[in-house]
Amino acid sequence: MNKKLLALLLALSLSLSLTACGGDGGANTTDDDTSSDADAAETVTLTVAASPTPHAEILKQCVPILKEQGIDLVVNEYSDYVIPNTAVEDGDEDANYFQHIPYLDDFNATRGTHLVNVAAVHIEPMGVYAGKTASLEELADGATIAVPSDATNEGRALLLLETQGLIKLADSTNLSSTPNDIVENPKNLEFVEMEAAQIPSSLADVDLAVINSNYALGAGLNPTEDALVLESADSPYVNVLVVKEGNEEAPAVLALIEALHSDTIRTYIEETYGGAVIPAF
């Protein structure tokens, strides 16, 4: 009888000890924490650097698509053409979406970066816009034309002007042409080289300006309505999604590519930009 009583007391003591250490409450908390950690582990964050218009706007349409797959797409906006690339190279951003292939190739060659194109998304036709002069026909001798100062966009601008018969370049296949490569300039045009982002705000100071569509849109210009001349739809300057070499097959990157190439994004581009931005997929 004494032995049974002693066993009962020991069992009761052990039960009280377990309760004091957390017992059922501790187990529930652990289970909740484990579940919470699992949920967090299932969510992947993908950061992408982008120009505000139209790149960031297009990417934001992908946010709900990727959210359904457990991917948190974070779009960080930049107003220049250098930091988005260096940020990806340095690992501060997972990808970027703001540039065309000739610019990417030139950037890698001159900066020694290791950036790769993983998806073509859209084309933004570059356009010629009126400043102090209302049309190409009214362009006077010695008129000034603003062009982007970065290598590939400047060459692109000069090629567009050549198609209008305003100038002739030494080599029309050279995508990196500069004003020094102009061999014929019958109107003695003067070229004002500026950062691409600054050109729209300088329209009043020049006769004409050649502007990238993303910066035109950002300045409230409608390329299809306001441009005197637009590049043709077969332009080689396709805007692409870019990652650092080695990250091409990252699951989140592949998911973003699929989202960008979806019918949802195609419809958004066509309905939102009315031809100023053209899907390239």
Q: pLDDT tens, 76-122?
A: 999 999 999 999 999 999 999 999 999 999 999 999 999 999 999 99
Q: Is the pLDDT of residue 29 over 50?
A: no
User: What is the CATH number for 199?
Assistant: 3.40.190.10
More confident residue, 1 or 255: 255
Q: pLDDT tens, 218-245?
A: 899 989 899 999 987 677 889 999 999 9
Query: Taking all residues of the chain, what is their mean pLDDT, rounded to a whole number?
Result: 87
Task: Please indicate, yes or no, if residue 197 is contained in any of the structural domains.
Answer: yes
Task: Please indicate, yes or no, if residue 198 is contained in any of the structural domains.
Answer: yes
Task: Please indicate, yes or no, if residue 18 is contained in any of the structural domains.
Answer: no
Q: Is the pLDDT of residue 59 over 90?
A: yes
134 and 273 housed in the same domain: no
Lowest-confidence segment of 37-51, 93-107, 173-187, 261-275 by average pLDDT:
37-51
203 and 158 housed in the same domain: yes
- Domain final position from 189, 205, 230: 230
135 and 226 housed in the same domain: yes
Q: Is the pLDDT of residue 142 over 50?
A: yes
Q: In the predicted model, what is the mean pLDDT of residues 248-272?
A: 97
163 and 113 housed in the same domain: no
Task: Please indicate, yes or no, if residue 79 is contained in any of the structural domains.
Answer: yes
Q: How many domains does the chain have?
A: 2
Determine the structural domain holding residue 170 and report its residue range.
127-230
Query: Contact 94/252 with Cβ under 8 angstroms?
Result: yes
Q: What is the pLDDT of residue 176?
A: 87
Lowest-confidence segment of 10-19, 254-263, 270-279 by average pLDDT:
10-19
- The whole model's pTM is what? 0.71
Closest among 180, 216, 204, 209 to 192, alpha carbons compared: 209
Task: Please indicate, yes or no, if residue 171 is contained in any of the structural domains.
Answer: yes
